[in-house]
Structure 1
Amino acid sequence: MPLFPLRTVLFPGGQLALRIFEPRYLDMVRECARQDSGFGICLILQGRETGAPAIPAAVGTIARITDFHTGGDGLLTIVVEGGARFRVDRTRARSDGLLRGSVAMWPPEPRKEVPVEFALLQSIAERLVETMTPQSRHAPRSMYDDAGWVGFRLAELLPLDVEEQQHMLELTDPLQRLAELRDVLPRFQKS
């Protein structure tokens, strides 16, 4: 699978706009469009988004292109949506610098209802989605009862650093993710 290391984390169900200008990534987008396939987004552990291939985190998210356009600057912008998570077993860099990874797909998280002790997190998620992610604004009300969906939305919208976001991505229990997010909330309260 082609890998796109970034200084951001894509969560399942999340959306991300990417400006594509390096030839290796333009080729990757063409390949994905031709094959109707996705690519993997992984957090950069070492290196940069441009230039030499970066070292990606071992856990990432499949990105499927949902929209694209060319901006006024002539650069291609794509919008991707996060799908399943995966673990990278090994990587290799092509001659053009594009990373490809042998990956093992993770099964989807089991749907768990949000327990009553996390009701505040549901309210916070609803407010954050309403103001910060217009594309999710019309999510069915039932999504706010899904602990996995609420946890992923909070992990992407709260001002966590990327290492914390990566940790949230790697958790496999949606209730543990909610508990850890609840525990970091006091950091974001105004004094």
Structure 2
Amino acid sequence: MIKTGSRLSIFPLPGALLLPRAYLPLHIFEPRYRALVSDSLARDRRVAMIQPIPGEERADRPDLFDIGCVGRIANVEALEDGRFNLILEGVSRFRVVRELEAGTAFRQIEASFDEFSEDEADPDPLPSPMRSEIEREARRFADARGLMIDWDGVERLDDESLVNGMAQAIPFDVVTKQALLEAADALARADLLVDFLRLGAGDGSQTLQ
């Protein structure tokens, strides 16, 4: 468990959802985030993902949501021109305590992990009806939006990978992605996912990225 009070280097990115035990591929090209990755590789391999509040995305230092998820660099490809291709493995959610005066090109925060102590534990399996409902509503959503999904691959996923993968891959808006991140546990996230899939398939009100 990461200690509360830890210093985290943050990568604010709208629509990029990292969840515990899920994986997030990233292409790093901006100089400040190339510096972040270099620092992380030399120090602890941690990168904290967090979303800017809608309307703040284009600001130089946008206001951020209070909750994000820290990941460990599980795989890295350093390109000749200084860019990186990364795969982050989600470790735990965190709450921002305060932003630090870091003196670096990238932003750093003090983080609390106290309320997310269960994030590193494997969740219980979903009830069978819930699993079936997620798959059914995901098919309806995909049909309504014209999305191509490998359904054979979906059926082979374990419950947590199914919920996390859908939460990450479905093109929900920033606020919806944040709600999925902040869900109390895996079952609550699955319930929310069904609601958002149903809403998006029914009236098209969810915003595509």
Q: TM-score, normalised by structure 1?
A: 0.76
Q: Indicate whether 1:153 and 2:162 are aligned.
A: no
Q: Indicate whether 1:108 and 2:118 are aligned.
A: yes
- What residue ranges of structure 1 are gaps of 5+ in the alignment? none
- Number of the residue aligned with 1:17: 25
Flag the structure with higher strand content.
Answer: 1
* CA distance in structure 1 between the aligned counterparts of 2:103 and 2:10, rounded to whole angstroms: 14
Task: State how 1:82-93 maps to structure 2 within 5 Å.
Answer: 82-93=90-101
Counterpart pick for 1:170 among 182, 186, 197: 182
* CA distance in structure 2 between the aligned counterparts of 1:152 and 1:62, rounded to whole angstroms: 15
Counterpart pick for 1:53 among 46, 54, 61: 61
Task: State how 1:2-151 maps to structure 2 within 5 Å.
Answer: 2-8=9-15, 9-45=17-53, 47-48=56-57, 52-70=60-78, 75-105=83-113, 106-109=116-119, 111-121=123-133, 123=135, 131=149, 143-144=158-159, 148-151=160-163
Alignment-mate amino acid for residue 73 of structure 2? I
Q: Indicate whether 1:184 and 2:196 are aligned.
A: yes
Please give the secondary structure, in 1, of the residue aligned with 2:60.
Answer: coil
> Any conservation in 1 of the 2:22–2:161 contact (CA below 8 Å)?
no
- In the alignment of these two chains, the number of paired residues is 181
Alignment-mate amino acid for residue 52 of structure 2? I
* CA distance in structure 2 between the aligned counterparts of 1:75 and 1:125, rounded to whole angstroms: 38
Identity %: 23
Change in CA separation of 1:158 and 1:73 when aligned onto 2, cut-off 3 Å? same
Please give the secondary structure, in 1, of the residue aligned with 2:51.
Answer: strand
* CA distance in structure 2 between the aligned counterparts of 1:64 and 1:178, rounded to whole angstroms: 24
* CA distance in structure 1 between the aligned counterparts of 2:162 and 2:186, rounded to whole angstroms: 9
Q: TM-score, normalised by structure 2?
A: 0.70
* CA distance in structure 1 between the aligned counterparts of 2:156 and 2:111, rounded to whole angstroms: 32
> Alpha-carbon deviation of 1:30?
1.6
Alignment-mate amino acid for residue 91 of structure 1? E
> Any conservation in 1 of the 2:134–2:193 contact (CA below 8 Å)?
no
The two structures, once aligned, show a CA RMSD in angstroms of: 3.4
